[in-house]
Structure 1
Amino acid sequence: MRLNHPTTCLNFIIYSFATVLWASLAVNPLHAADIEPFVGSYVGSANVVDANGTETPRDMSVSIQELKNGFNVSWKTTTYKLNGRVKEQAFSIDFQTSDRSDIFSAAMKRNVFGHEVPLDPMQGEPFVWGRIEGQTLTVFSLFIAENGGYELQQYDRTLAEGGLNLSFSRFRNGTKSRSVETFLTKE
């Protein structure tokens, strides 16, 4: 191949660059985060602390499963109220890889084309996303209130020997209103 012609040189450079880029993506995918260390079922309990200092006992469980193009996080909480009432809540969210390394978009409903997409926070639905940063899997939920205010929930699940360290915080308009920290044992 003669490389003395400008067009031939440019084509050769583009071809070489494309070959190197393709090879690097095949070895190092854009989404380097690995959910595998987090996969499993975990249980624990803690006292949830409200902004006014009151504590409420709560049992918690979480299951993290790998999916074809991402992962699923399902969690359940059982709250024991002072009046003897027991409140259970369960959530399950699929996360898909995004165009940004180690950041995952929530796939919570299907659009008119059948593609899984996040919910719409302008309709009062939570906007949810996740990320893996080192040994921590974080799930964020953003809610926009009727008056334009917001609530942000953050669940940090950090790998630890025998399970996960869970740190949960809820912020309303920038002020922390609830938090909990506990250890969840891997089953």
Structure 2
Amino acid sequence: MKFLHVTRTLLAASVFLASGVILAGAAHADDTIEKFFGNYVGAGNATIADGDRRETRDLDVTVERFKNEGFTLKWITVIRDENGGRTGTDVKRREVEENFIPVEDKENVFVLSPKGGLFQKSELPNPLRGDAVRWAAIEDNAMTVYSLAISASGGSELQVYRRSLTDKGMAISFMRLQDEDVKVRMSGDLVRTK
């Protein structure tokens, strides 16, 4: 029941964010995000709910400045094969780059920057069309990125990425929920390389 309440609350927040009511702007974020800037590499272990399968994942994370007060988050995940190797036919690689901008009147909260271009109107994601809504919150030494999507059947998928600074770099945890069911849990440690 707790997950249902959380899912409904986050769904309402995502619709509010996607409606364009919140605008970016605010210089309060500079010091808060700068401590995360750098490159991090490491590994993690994931548990997949369907059959309690385990996976080893190589992780590469980069956090850098975006425009004046925002940040770019890049990450590469390599899911190793069932034997833990990187040469099998079932090795998977995923690379993501996202830009976040501060939310006006919400200290240390960022929203995914709308995509657009010189001849293209910038648009925020629309969860009712199947777009995922993403936002980030920074509290102390933890940066948490949320991604919420509405499935074709009206259910929800929530992904939560928490990256916490450590003495050597960063601890990372990830959880993916479909409706109220936890489908994937992952945790790992990364060292700062730059």
Which residue in 2 is equivalent to 1:48? 46
* Per-residue deviation, 1:130: 0.5
* Per-residue deviation, 1:29: 5.3
Which residue in 1 is equivalent to 2:78? 78
Q: 1:113 to 1:30 in 2, by over 3 A?
A: farther
Which residue in 2 is equivalent to 1:172? 178
Residue 120 (structure 1) aligned with residue 126 (structure 2):
yes
| Cα root mean square deviation, aligned | 2.2
Which residue in 2 is equivalent to 1:63? 62
Give the secondary-structure state (helix, strand or coil) at the position aligned to 2:128: helix
Q: Is residue 78–residue 86 contact of structure 1 (8 Å, CA) maintained in 2?
A: yes
- Given candidates 122, 125, 134, the residue that maps to 2:140 is 134
The residue type paired with residue 90 of structure 1 is: E
Which residue in 2 is equivalent to 1:95? 100
* Per-residue deviation, 1:69: 2.7
Distance 1:48 1:94 in 2: 26
Question: Alpha-carbon deviations, 1:22-43, whole Å to 9, x = none?
Answer: xxxxxx9554761111000111
Instruction: Indicate the structure (1 or 2) with the bigger Cα radius of gyration.
Output: 1
The residue type paired with residue 44 of structure 2 is: A
Percent of residue pairs bearing the same amino acid type: 28
Distance 1:107 1:163 in 2: 26
TM-score, with length taken from structure 2: 0.75
Q: Is residue 105–residue 118 contact of structure 1 (8 Å, CA) maintained in 2?
A: no
Segments of structure 2 that go 5 or more residues without pairing to the other structure are 1-25, 83-87
Give the secondary-structure state (helix, strand or coil) at the position aligned to 1:110: strand
Q: 1:73 to 1:157 in 2, by over 3 A?
A: same
The residue type paired with residue 107 of structure 1 is: S
Q: 1:33 to 1:102 in 2, by over 3 A?
A: farther
- Given candidates 139, 147, 152, the residue that maps to 2:153 is 147
TM-score, with length taken from structure 1: 0.78
The residue type paired with residue 52 of structure 2 is: G
Aligned residues: 160
The residue type paired with residue 71 of structure 1 is: F
* Per-residue deviation, 1:71: 0.4
Give the secondary-structure state (helix, strand or coil) at the position aligned to 1:34: helix
Segments of structure 1 that go 5 or more residues without pairing to the other structure are 1-27
Highest relative contact order (Cα 8 Å, sep 6+), 1 or 2? 2
Distance 1:185 1:123 in 2: 38
The residue type paired with residue 48 of structure 1 is: A
The residue type paired with residue 107 of structure 2 is: S
Distance 1:84 1:114 in 2: 39
Residue 105 (structure 1) aligned with residue 111 (structure 2):
yes
Q: Is residue 29–residue 70 contact of structure 2 (8 Å, CA) maintained in 1?
A: no
